Amino acid sequence: MPSSLPYVASNKHLETLFSKIASATVPDKFTRSFLQQTIGLKGSNDRAYIPLLRTLGFLDASGTPTTAYRQLKNSGTAKAAIAAGIRSAYAPLFASDESAHALSSEKLKGLIAQVAGTDEGMTARIASTFGALAKLADFSASAAPTTKDETSKESDQEQEEAKHQGKELRTEFHYNIQIHLPANGTEEVYLNIFNALRRVFQ
């Protein structure tokens, strides 16, 4: 089944977008107003950058910046964060070729057409967006490199913690039940509600 891949109609301001994100204050919500007034991108095509940021994992469904968004503020992690976002947003491409970001323009278009089943025009738009993003990313960077010794130590520590937690585990469950009673209910209505609850938990 063909996969859906993200794209924007115009990617000429993508570099500006990420550059301004790095220098601006992290907003409570990344809104169209923030895009226009703080980031400075006021074109109609620029509005598509907000859903693109969501697809890349930098904003949640409500437009709130995520932890990955904050990594864009750090020059040491920004490119790796963009690469991680691309791998996630274009997962079907990387599932077919883990070096999709390193393909030539023609080979990339061929892979996109194969994976997404798109026509020539749509394939070109997806490839253009992917390519513009890839230029801003560092796919060789690792956000949190871990050595084999560190991995072993973490594993041993986790096992000890699991044993300790297992000794202290108690199978006790507490339920908090909230009942919203109708303001205009009669005494009989209230009694019926509580009687029904009593029967359920007997």
Tens of pLDDT, residue by residue over 168-187, are 555 555 555 666 666 666 66
Burial of 84 (0-12, 13-18, 19+ CB in 10 A): buried
Q: How confident is the model at residue 120 (pLDDT cuts 50, 70, 90)?
A: very high
With CA atoms as reference, report the closest residue to 29 among 52, 59, 70, 74.
Answer: 59
Q: Determine the 3-state secondary structure of 30 from DSSP.
A: coil
> CB count, 10 Å around CB of 36?
14
With CA atoms as reference, report the closest residue to 7 among 140, 141, 118, 137.
Answer: 118
Mean pLDDT of 106-122: 96
Q: 120-134 vs 14-23: helix axis angle to the nearest 10?
A: 30
Least confident window among 73-82, 132-141, 149-158: 149-158
Q: How confident is the model at residue 3 (pLDDT cuts 50, 70, 90)?
A: confident
Give the tokens for residue 200: 């359920």
* pLDDT at residue 119 is higher than 80: yes
Q: Structure pTM? A: 0.68
Q: 105-116 vs 120-134: helix axis angle to the nearest 10?
A: 120
How far CA 45 is from CA of 11, 32, 66, 131, 191, in Å, comes to 9, 12, 23, 18, 60
Q: What backbone torsions phi and psi does residue 59 show, to the nearest 5 degrees?
A: -130, 145
- The string of pLDDT tens digits covering residues 189-200 is 667 666 766 665
Q: How far apart are the first and last CA of the chain?
A: 51
Residues contacting 101, CB < 8 A, separation 6+ = 83, 86, 130, 134, 137, 139
- Domain locations in the chain as residue ranges: 14-134
With CA atoms as reference, report the closest residue to 133 among 95, 98, 66, 83.
Answer: 83
- Supply the pLDDT for residue 189: 64
